[in-house]
Amino acid sequence: MVLRLNSRLSSKKNSEKKEIYLTYHSGKINITSGSDITISEKWFDYVTGITNNTPFGRRKLSDAENEILEYHKQMREKYNSLKTFIEDEESKNIEKSQITSQWLTDCINKFYKKGVHKEKSLLDHLHDFINEYSHRTGTKGNIFKNLNQYTTLRDKLQEFAKTERRNDFEVSEIDKNFLQNFNTFLNTISKPKPLAANTIGKYNKCLKAVLNDKGLYDEKKCRIIVQKLEVDTQYLSETELDKIKMLDLSKNKKLEKTRNSFIVLAYTGCRISDLKTVINTPIVNDTITFRQQKTNNKVSIPLLFDNTEKYINRCKTVGIMTNTNLNSYIREICEMAGINEMVSITSIKGGQKNTELVEKYKLITSHTGRRSYATNMIERGVSPYAIMEITGHKTLASFEAYIRLDKKDKMEMMKKQFAMGNKKII
């Protein structure tokens, strides 16, 4: 981190001596604090600070002038020592988010051996939590599973603070109004785009975890309820996937390349981040074995659907699509295949729950392939636990929330499984 430590004089008028203010500046950081060092304005230089040059010239000085000269010499030494001390404190591998006005004030107090501010802010506690994270992972379950969620929470809180014209928040300010305003900010103003209800719920969960860990969570003052809205994600049935496969895309190489990539996702259940690994892994006994990029879990995926190997070979020949391009082109392909059923989606904007009908093809993404694999395997009667070995879900509850089956689908599946067993229930 490169920070510039500058100085300026107090703007007080009609004052023989003025206090020097120290300013840290780097990018968006611009913080100031008084130094407790006072000098005459004619001894100050805005570039170098307290100047070495004397305004008295080379003539013989009076006793009073010698006292003034000695005073400013002492102030210059103190000023240089203070600057060096602050720069040494800043070099102790602290993060940019810690460089606050309070930090600068604490450094100056520490230099003078004054009492340092003890009350930590919300961002201070969050920063400590993140720094201690490596020692926590795996000790308290999934609440500490993803460090990225906590660093992003910190970024969002800093972004929220700016909209409130603040640098930070005191822990005592965390109440119902704070939480409501923060969630409204995430849902309406947050950049690069407002967040969905379930993403906001994750950040609330992280905030609650930090406050709990630091012994600061006061349920009476601010009860953090993590609401979860059922995600309106879709899956494509085997019939719909067949419609995509039957399209003649030979005249559009981008669409053909997109279809190849998507079918492999839908027939193997792999993530888009593992697609390159999947197509380059040797097939042994109709099975692909590889280590997942996200979880580092080793999985073996049997190639059960017809023509899976054919589409893998096509991907090897013409390449695969990036996630961004695949998401764009797959919707066009699904529209061409007539996958335009009207489906209901629910969203929350400004705290209000809204429901609307949209064409199904508009909701298809690269992740739909993986979700389609899991759902179609369930419809074929494969044990959820067997599928979870491939998808990586740790609990049945999380897997059931992942698959997309309505009540009608479940009833049909029960009838099919019962017919296959050909037994009566007694």
Structural tokens at position 35:
């130094």
CB atoms within 10 A of CB 388: 17
Rounded to an integer, what distance in angstroms lies between the CA atom of residue 39 and that of residue 16?
8
Residue 86 corresponds to which amino acid?
Answer: I
Collapsing DSSP to helix, strand or coil, 60 comes out as: coil
Q: Is 78 exposed, middle or buried (0-12, 13-18, 19+ CB in 10 A)?
A: middle
* Residue 38 backbone dihedrals phi, psi, to 5 degrees: -120, 135
Q: Which of 52, 58, 26, 24 is nearest to 39 (CA)?
A: 52
Predicted confidence at residue 101, as pLDDT, reads 77
Task: Give me the tens of pLDDT residue by residue for the chain, a chain 426 residues long.
Answer: 445 666 666 666 556 677 777 777 766 667 787 778 887 777 777 666 666 666 666 677 788 777 877 887 888 888 888 888 888 877 775 676 777 777 888 888 888 776 555 577 888 888 888 877 655 544 444 444 577 888 888 889 989 888 887 888 888 888 888 888 888 888 787 777 777 777 888 888 888 888 888 787 777 776 776 555 455 578 999 999 999 999 999 999 999 999 999 999 999 999 999 999 999 999 999 999 999 888 888 999 999 998 999 999 999 999 999 888 999 899 999 999 999 999 877 665 545 667 788 899 988 999 899 999 999 998 888 888 899 888 888 788 778 777 766 655 666 666 666 566 544 333
CA 83: distance to chain centroid?
35
Question: Which element (helix H / strand E) includes 89?
Answer: helix 63-90
Domains of the chain, CATH where assigned: 4-111 (no CATH), 122-213 (no CATH), 238-421 (1.10.443.10)
Please, are residues 249 and 260 in contact by the beta-carbon 8 Å criterion?
no
pLDDT, residue 141, reads 42
Measured distance CA(20)–CA(331) in Å, rounded: 62
Of 105, 150, 109, 155, the closest CA to residue 132 belongs to 150
Q: Which residues pair with 287 in a beta bridge?
A: 284, 302
